[in-house]
Structure 1
Amino acid sequence: MSKRGERITITTTTTPTIYSATEWDLLTNLPGRVIVATAQPGPGRPFRGVAAGLAGLDAMAAGRAFDSDLVRAVVAAIYSRHDGVPAPAAQLVDPVDVLAGCRAVVRVLGRRADPADSAAYRQWVQSVAARVCRTASAMTPGGALAPADRRFLDRLGGALALR
């Protein structure tokens, strides 16, 4: 996590963008929260094994190849974190809180990011959740997305202003 009061500057192909430490933490924590919210069990959602969480991590790492300076910077920050504090024990994430976080990210990106970087980030986060859901559906008979997964992905897309 960033230190209080610190500013993070991301240089894109157009101009440098400065994010507050709070905004940067929001941008860098959201993808992991989305993975947990999507992979955790819930009503009407199929059992999710380790493969679903790994698929989410793989989708998050795929952001390193995105044609977006912002997405690449976020992924680099996620994978370079080392603050000497042990990782917290896995805990459930409230999907409602994750959707609220998505809406907050949309507001931050609307104020600070280049529109192309904003769209790329939001699509990347949606693709992370979709990969987790597809992996889980591949483990169920018929391989179709569970209705609860479709609803969650639709709500996520709405919260990310993709719909």
Structure 2
Amino acid sequence: MSHSVAGEPPSAGRRAATSTTAGYSAAEWELLTNLPGRVLVVAARPAVGGPLRGVAAGLAGLDAVAAGRASDSDLVRAVVADIYARHEGASAPVEHLGGLVDALACCRAAVRVLRRGADPADSAAYRQWVQSVAARVCRIGPTGVPAPAGVALAPPDRRFLDRLGGALDLG
């Protein structure tokens, strides 16, 4: 099950994910549903000495989370549905979400959970989707405009995405 390109309409005949959560404990499911938000918050924080990313970066991250609704992966769609169901109108405090070290540790924990309980295609789609949330945020420049395609990311953003990819076992 590969994931759809963001913005594509869902495939015809695609059903809503209903039994996807059955293979996970409550703590595991919470980890999987909170991870995209953790990654978004960490990616939106400026690198030491770097420019503030601003609202546009947060919105880009939220758009990347929402793009998971169009995924071919039952798991990704179920996670997005749960994020929207649980967090509509509310947001977790930034302090609760932790920093980079915590986010990377959560990524590694999610990989372990996915290895035990997810279809390999769903696991790959979820991990790539989480990475895409961070990548969209990192593409937003200090002016609030995404960097054009082909323009290299700032070194701190590249290092962050590399570390995130490693923690998500995308290497």
**Runs of 5+ in structure 1 lacking a partner?**
1-8
Distance 1:42 1:93 in 2: 15
| Structure 2 counterpart of 1:156 | 164
Q: Deviations over 1:3-33 (max 9, x none)?
A: xxxxxx9536xxx851000000000000000
Q: CA deviation at 1:94?
A: 1.1
Mapping for residues 6-155 of structure 1, pairs under 5 Å = 11=19, 17-81=22-86, 87-91=91-95, 93-136=98-141, 139=144, 144-155=152-163
Q: Partners of 1:83 and 1:148 in 2: how far apart?
A: 32
Secondary structure at the counterpart of residue 24 of structure 2: strand
Structure 1 89/11 Cα, relative in aligned 2: closer, same or farther at 3 Å? Answer: closer
CA RMSD across the alignment: 2.7
Give identity over the alignment, percent.
69
Q: Which residue of 2 aligns with 1:6?
A: none
Structure 2 gap ranges (5+): 1-16
Aligned residues: 151
> Residue 135 of structure 1: CA displacement?
1.4
Task: Name the amino acid aligned to 2:103.
Answer: V
Point out 4+ residue stretches in structure 1 off by more than 6 angstroms: none
Which structure shows the bigger proportion of residues in strand conformation? Answer: 1
TM-score (norm 1): 0.82
Maintained 8 Å contact 1:46/1:146: no
1:30 maps to amino acid? L
Residue type of the alignment partner of 2:102: D
Partners in 1 of 2:121 and 2:129 — Cα distance? 12
- 1:150–1:44 Cα change, 3 Å: farther
Per-residue CA deviations over 1:117-139 (Å, capped at 9, x if unaligned) read 00000000000000000113675
